Amino acid sequence: MKLKQLQSYLKKEKINLAVLVDDDINITYFTQTKPSFAYLFITPKIASLYITKLDKKPKLKEITIKILDQDWKKKFNKNVKKIGLNNASITLDYAKKLKKMFPKAKFVDISKQLTELRSTKTTQECKCIIKACQITDFAFSELVKELPKKRLKTEQEVADFLEKKIKSRGGELAFPTIVAMGKNAAIPHHLTSQQILKRGFLLLDFGAKYDYYCADMSRVLFLGTPHKQEIKMYNLLLEAQKGAIKQIEENKSFVEIDKFVRKQLGKYSSYFIHSLGHGLGLNIHEKPSYLKENNYKIMPGHAFTVEPGIYFPGKFGLRIEDTIIFDGKVKILTKSNKNLINVKI
């Protein structure tokens, strides 16, 4: 992706070599492949991906493909002075191996620069996220048609159904699906269980991954007929979520939008116990961040979620979430119905 930008940074900081190892997500970012094992070596001028003989050689324009044979370490200049590592990913074991391989080098952390590179998405990355969201919407629409047939009996069966539909369209799960019935939904990261489906709110938080890129969506269904107060609570959250999306504009801070939602929720704001959302891409959680200490402002290329929630321990929880791309305009990528859908049981 943004290889040239990283190389410019290395040149500016007089870093002779950057090394990414093993399952570092940035290897996938720069190569758009996921080898079983690899080293990616990047200098200010060239880049080389070392893979095993067991992996298929990808066709890359800017990166040379080489094989990890018995003598591969001997081909490097041992007198490299300054090496950049992703300290957020590399294990202590691999760091020790590299220090042994380059005994004269000073090692510096480039994790912040890698994170910032990935915080804004290229056109190709956006296409992958859009496709992941389309697959997510498809799975949800199929579930809405399936539930009235009463063949799905538990949270886990609902999760399995969504996974099957995602895979039928060439996707995979972006993260473990959350299906939370009734009071289980009061736990934002509830672990999907064998809980029997019954009358009440059913919260779904799931997403597809397509070509390594993630989607994330939360929707709430009501099994049975909701009371007026249940409808009122849901609509309060829905209006806050829609209002937050209307607040999105270039250079506005994510913290400011988070504060807006809490004000909209009024006396229920204390039941909103997490941030308004998160960035996403190759990882389901990445920059930009809504956290105050990061002070991110909305920029073209940002991909992120808007997901207010209110949680009442022992009773129920609600969360409505969309994946958004901002490219100068707000694009809501998850297009599934957000009105409270009643499912007869």
Q: 128 with 282: CB under 8 angstroms?
A: no
Q: Are residues 103 and 130 in the same domain?
A: no
By C-alpha distance, which of 133, 174, 120, 137 is closest to 326?
120
Range of lowest pLDDT (37-41, 56-60, 163-167, 251-255): 56-60
By C-alpha distance, which of 200, 205, 138 is closest to 167?
138
Tens digit of each residue's pLDDT (9 = 90 or more) over 277-327: 999 999 999 999 888 777 899 999 999 999 999 999 999 999 999 999 999
pTM higher than 0.85: yes
Tens digit of each residue's pLDDT (9 = 90 or more) over 330-340: 999 999 999 99
Q: Are residues 114 and 127 in the same domain?
A: no
What pairing do the DSSP bridges indicate for beta strands 341-343 and 217-223? Answer: parallel
Tens digit of each residue's pLDDT (9 = 90 or more) over 181-208: 999 999 999 999 999 999 999 999 999 9
Full residue range of the structural domain in which residue 155 is found: 123-343
Final residue of a structural domain among 118, 152, 177: 118
By C-alpha distance, which of 287, 288, 239 is closest to 261?
239
By C-alpha distance, which of 313, 312, 131, 161 is closest to 237?
312
CA 128 vs CA 57, 121, 209: distances in Å: 22, 10, 9
Which pLDDT score is estimated for 295? 84
By C-alpha distance, which of 174, 213, 207, 212 is closest to 34?
212
Q: Are residues 142 and 70 in the same domain?
A: no
Tens digit of each residue's pLDDT (9 = 90 or more) over 62-103: 999 999 988 788 778 778 999 999 999 999 999 999 999 999
79: helix, strand or coil: coil
Q: How many domains does the chain have?
A: 2
Q: DSSP letters of 209-230? A: EETTEE--EEEEEEES---HHH
Final residue of a structural domain among 86, 101, 118: 118
Give the CATH number of the domain where residue 129 resides: 3.90.230.10
Of all residues in the chain, the percent with pLDDT exceeding 90 is 92
Final residue of a structural domain among 85, 100, 118: 118
Q: Are residues 265 and 160 in the same domain?
A: yes
